[in-house]
Structure 1
Amino acid sequence: MNWKSFMLGAAVGILGGYTARQMITKQTKVSPEKVLENVKKQFSQNGSISGSWIHMVAEPYQKQQIHYQVYKGGISKTVEGIDEQYEFIADASTGTLIDIRRLSEGIA
């Protein structure tokens, strides 16, 4: 075997390994509609949902020095006749809720 054949084979192997790794680790995003559906399901356990929204474009977010791509949205719900509004942040790659913040509490 000569060095040219060896180097060509090694280069092809490295390139193939890199391409395979990129395809395997490529992260896909959960659809914003699915994220909103899951959030609404969790919030509806403690009262009825009166409104909801989600920003359809993922954006960068950092929490405790960890970087995420996230969807931001909101939920309005009624608990014992009182309207409450919440803002949520969900991981775009898994749909997991990262943060929830209560915005307001209305009067019945």
Structure 2
Amino acid sequence: MKNRDLLIGFATGVAAAYLVKEVVDRTQKLYPADNVLKEVKSAFKEEGPIDGSWIFMKTEPYKQHALTTEVYKGGITRHKEDELQQFEFLADAYTGAVIEVKQV
């Protein structure tokens, strides 16, 4: 009976630790320079070389319709056909997904 109780306690502890880790991972913001900016730059590099990029390290609140989240704001600069193109983007701070890209 004692081995069974020990095994049940161990299994419960492992399951609880896994659940806590998953909850913490989902609520942590991504580090912008390492994750978000690299993802956006790699997507733009598929269409050609880029000249420069930037990202604000502080998140901003973003609301679209009924949804509110925290976003990183950044930009990409590149030359295409001898013309300078500048883009600004908004990326979700928790998932890194690009929410909006616009040419300025």
- Specify if TM > 0.5: yes
Q: How does 1:1-108 map to 2 (within 5 A)?
A: 24-26=22-24, 27-33=27-33, 34-103=35-104
1:62 Cα deviation after fit: 0.6
1:25 Cα deviation after fit: 3.1
RMSD: 2.0
Unaligned 5+ runs, structure 1: 1-20, 104-108
Q: Report if the CA contact (8 A) 1:76-1:86 is conserved.
A: yes
Question: What is the count of residue pairs matched by the alignment?
Answer: 85
Structure number with higher strand proportion: 1
Larger radius of gyration: 1
SS in 1 for 2:30: coil
CA distance in 1 between partners of 2:57 and 2:93 (Å) = 10
CA distance in 2 between partners of 1:63 and 1:49 (Å) = 29
1:23 Cα deviation after fit: 6.7
Unaligned 5+ runs, structure 2: 1-18
SS in 1 for 2:45: helix
Q: TM-score, normalized by length of structure 1? A: 0.70
CA distance in 2 between partners of 1:24 and 1:49 (Å) = 36
1:47 Cα deviation after fit: 1.8
CA distance in 1 between partners of 2:65 and 2:28 (Å) = 23
